[in-house]
Amino acid sequence: AQSVTQLDSQVPVFEEAPVELRCNYSSSVSVYLFWYVQYPNQGLQLLLKYLSGSTLVKGINGFEAEFNKSQTSFHLRKPSVHISDTAEYFCAVSDLTGGFKTIFGAGTRLFVKA
């Protein structure tokens, strides 16, 4: 069975600073990886996903993530954050065995300060 660990529950950062949100996973088989964002009082929406191919994945709103198989990580980065990026970010993993479940991490709250 797979699992996801988001290493930081909260990340405060100043506006226009870079940010990295960390995600590690464990699985005995190959995986698909996702990052979702949840703005206050809203549902989750997909930021980006890694299925195969290039390990650097670009998503919406200037975010990108890098899949590192040897370190079993999928960290999310943005070079310069805006106030509007304040939200909860969820890393998720599902495996390639044909199972239907996507497992979500506990979330990281990104708080962008002026």
Partner 1 sequence: DTAVSQTPKYLVTQMGNDKSIKCEQNLGHDTMYWYKQDSKKFLKIMFSYNNKELIINETVPNRFSPKSPDKAHLNLHINSLELGDSAVYFCASSQGPRSNTEAFFGQGTRLTVV
Residue 59 interacting with partner 1 (CB under 8 A): no
Structure tokens at 57: 């994945």
Q: C-beta of 10: minimal distance to partner 1 in Å?
A: 11
| Beta carbons within 10 angstroms of residue 11's beta carbon | 17
The closest alpha carbon to 94, from 34, 43, 24, belongs to: 34
- Selected from 17, 46, 60, 83, the binder of partner 1 by CB under 8 A is 46
| Residue 18 identity | P
What are 14's strand-pairing partners? 113
Gap between the Cα atoms of 83 and 100, Å rounded? 35
Residue 53 interacting with partner 1 (CB under 8 A): no
Residue 54 interacting with partner 1 (CB under 8 A): no
Residue 42 interacting with partner 1 (CB under 8 A): yes
What is the contact surface with partner 1 in residues (CB under 8 A)? 32, 34, 38, 41-46, 49, 51, 88, 90, 94-96, 98-102, 104, 106-107, 109
